A and B are shown apart, each in its own frame.
Chain A
């Protein structure tokens, strides 16, 4: 799991980083000297836990935590501070832990144990007969949302891969994209080296295949890159990608999220960004769009069920973040109004409509749909 450390004092950052590395369960991937810098990172990188100092200039740790909570409710927050005075506020912000400086290794280990699900829980789940692949707390072996990454489930962290060339990485991603299908050699050379003479492209392909095989041997020995009759395919040996997990569970959940709120939330937490969005592969675009639509539909249904289950706060939080992505979506505006009304806050429901109306007017020169207007008018009654 990946951790971010935020502290305006560099020596404190370095000390905490050393302790976290020594413990080994979390990987400190980002060290930031201001909350602002940390929040910018979060937009780009998959982070599981944030260790946050409180006393910082500009934006303090409590403000930062509130922001992170709202935008990325799945991220675990641990305060690390010299002051004991803010622990009540830390509870208000649903922090996982509150560590007083100077931190010792034993106390830090306790905090990390609260973030990293421990092995005894995993064993208990296995004893209960829950299929390991369908158990969402277990991360898939290959990550393709946001960027291509290999996940080491034994170490519970992303295994950094040094790609010799961008083309080797793209070849690997493309073969994953094709499932376990055979892909003709010509298709691969046309895709990766379109302007190169055939024999030269073949040599490049050969080198890339060699690099991928070497990588698999080191990092994912259960997977194999096969060649037969001028075609290649990537056998998984049971390793699933996060995208395949999403597609499989999406089919089970969509239309029946009722009563399955937790699995739906867990599944949405898997989508930490668009499909391979970091790499800008043209061939990935249509699947990226499809996945994004599915994620969107699932999130909308989840919001509806949260509301129906009386968890209006959760519904509103989810809808608000969806609206940031899709500011002109009528369906979101309607659901958001209804969720505010459900929560007994008609004033916010009305504000929500007026802001939407104004946004459409100013940015698109349009008006809300009649149905949306009706929902609003019914509020006034």
Chain B
């Protein structure tokens, strides 16, 4: 599955990227610590999932992903954040998951498992439809 990563803190960006790198089926298609650049890049790349911090300085992570969701409604948004305070809003927004920093391998593993299932099933349905068309 194709993941885009946005985190204003470079150290934490590198850390999450490293952890995601441990999964053979995860393709980190892009990452950025600069929100505006990240949004326009992600828009073009159409990732399966966006891993994003809730605090991005000038713009909140929720507002940023909300903008992206308007154009990519199927995007799965996973918050990776040091702050608990946006979790209720994340539910409102129907975020895919909400992970607290410091991110642990164990918790990330559960998100990846669910992502696999969620992304895998889409591929499967498309394949089924293709089969039917043939």
CB pair A92–B125 under 8 Å, yes or no, is no
CB pair B91–A97 under 8 Å, yes or no, is yes
What is the 8 Å Cβ interface bit string for chain A, positions 90-101, against chain B (1 contact, 0 not)?
111011011010
Interface of B is mostly: helix
Residues of A within 8 A of B100 (CB): 88
Complex A-B: 23 CB contacts under 8 Å: A84-B88, A87-B84, A87-B87, A87-B98, A88-B84, A88-B87, A88-B98, A88-B100, A91-B95, A91-B97, A91-B98, A95-B91, A98-B87, A100-B88, A125-B125, A128-B129, A128-B132, A129-B133, A130-B128, A262-B124, A311-B113, A313-B109, A314-B113
Q: A87-B87, A91-B87 are in contact. List 8 more A-B contacts (CB 8 A).
A: A87-B90, A88-B100, A91-B91, A91-B98, A95-B91, A128-B129, A262-B120, A311-B117
Residues of A within 8 A of B125 (CB): 125, 128
Q: How far is the CA of A95 from the CA of B114 in the complex (A)?
A: 13
Our pick among A85, A114, A130 for the contact of B132 (Cβ within 8 Å) is A130
Q: How far is the CA of A88 from the CA of B103 in the complex (A)?
A: 13
User: Does B110 belong to the interface (CB within 8 Å)?
Assistant: yes
> Which chain B residue has the least Cβ–Cβ distance from A134?
B128
CB pair B132–A129 under 8 Å, yes or no, is yes
Q: How far is the CA of A87 from the CA of B109 in the complex (A)?
A: 20
User: Does B94 belong to the interface (CB within 8 Å)?
Assistant: yes
Residues of B within 8 A of A114 (CB): 94
CB pair A91–B113 under 8 Å, yes or no, is no
Q: Interface extent on B, as a size class?
A: 20 to 34
CB pair A94–B132 under 8 Å, yes or no, is no
- Quote the shortest CB–CB distance from B92 to chain A (angstroms): 8
Evaluate whether A129 and B129 lie within 8 angstroms (CB atoms) in the complex, with A87-B98, A91-B97, A314-B113 already known: yes
CB pair B129–A90 under 8 Å, yes or no, is no
Our pick among A90, A97, A311 for the contact of B116 (Cβ within 8 Å) is A311
User: Does B70 belong to the interface (CB within 8 Å)?
Assistant: no
> Which chain A residue has the least Cβ–Cβ distance from B81?
A88
Specify which of B91, B114, B124, B133 lies most central, judged by the most chain A CB atoms within 10 Å of its CB. Answer: B91
Tell me the B92-114 residues at the A interface (CB within 8 Å): 92, 94-95, 97-100, 107, 109-110, 113-114
Residues of B within 8 A of A110 (CB): 92
Residues of A within 8 A of B98 (CB): 87-88, 91
Tell me the A37-94 residues at the B interface (CB within 8 Å): 84-85, 87-88, 90-92, 94
Q: How far is the CA of A378 from the CA of B67 in the complex (A)?
A: 54
Q: How far is the CA of A94 from the CA of B133 in the complex (A)?
A: 35
CB pair B129–A313 under 8 Å, yes or no, is no
- Quote the shortest CB–CB distance from A29 to chain B (angstroms): 25
Evaluate whether A262 and B121 lie within 8 angstroms (CB atoms) in the complex, with A87-B98, A311-B113 already known: yes
Our pick among A98, A262, A313 for the contact of B88 (Cβ within 8 Å) is A98
> Which chain A residue has the least Cβ–Cβ distance from B133?
A129
Our pick among A84, A98, A313 for the contact of B110 (Cβ within 8 Å) is A313
CB pair A262–B117 under 8 Å, yes or no, is yes
Residues of B within 8 A of A87 (CB): 84, 87-88, 90-91, 98
Q: How far is the CA of A104 from the CA of B124 in the complex (A)?
A: 37
Evaluate whether A98 and B91 lie within 8 angstroms (CB atoms) in the complex, with A262-B121, A313-B113 already known: yes
CB pair B128–A128 under 8 Å, yes or no, is yes
Specify which of A85, A88, A130 lies most central, judged by the most chain B CB atoms within 10 Å of its CB. Answer: A88
Q: How far is the CA of A91 from the CA of B92 in the complex (A)?
A: 12
Nearest 6 A-B pairs (CB), nearest first?
Answer: A87-B87, A91-B98, A129-B132, A128-B129, A98-B91, A87-B88
- Quote the shortest CB–CB distance from B122 to chain A (angstroms): 10
Evaluate whether A94 and B114 lie within 8 angstroms (CB atoms) in the complex, with A114-B94, A262-B120 already known: yes
CB pair B124–A90 under 8 Å, yes or no, is no
Tell me the A88-136 residues at the B interface (CB within 8 Å): 88, 90-92, 94-95, 97-98, 100, 110, 114, 125, 128-130
> Which chain A residue has the least Cβ–Cβ distance from B107?
A92
